[in-house]
Amino acid sequence: MSKKIKRFNFWIRRKSHLAVISIGALVIALLFLNEDASWEHNMEYQEKIKSLNEQIRACNDSAEYYRRQREKLLTGTAELEQIAREEYRMQKPTEDVYVIKKR
């Protein structure tokens, strides 16, 4: 009996790389073929995350711009007058305003 055990033990040690290779192949197959966790879907999700983060950055930048504009309007009269003149084309009663349209 011990001879059979020794022979089986020797055979296992010689063929042990087959188990490692088969497990590795199974893991790789699952990564590429499994629909829920495939490599392709992972790359698509990473691209989508990147584009959404860029949109968040752009929205935060515009929110910061409007926040600064609001603070300028609340704190200073010179900025209020400048915005009223530039954006709403307001004027003093003694002034003439010329609007130049760009083509």
Residues 70 and 103 in one domain: yes
- Indicate the pTM of the whole model: 0.47
Query: Are 56 and 98 within one domain?
Result: yes
Is the pLDDT at 99 greater than 80, yes or no?
no
Residues 52 and 93 in one domain: yes
Residue 54 and residue 100 share a domain: yes
Segment 11-61, tens digit of pLDDT: 777 777 777 778 888 888 877 777 766 777 788 999 999 999 999 999 999
Asked whether residue 20 falls in the same domain as residue 61, the answer is no
Which spans in the chain are helix H?
2-33, 39-75, 77-88
Same domain (yes/no): 68, 93? yes
Q: What is the distance, to the nearest Å, from the Cα of residue 68 to the centroid of all Cα atoms in its chain?
A: 26
More confident residue, 7 or 33: 7
* Domain membership flag for residue 41: no
Tokens 């893991």: give the residue. Answer: 27
Query: What pLDDT was estimated at residue 61?
Result: 93
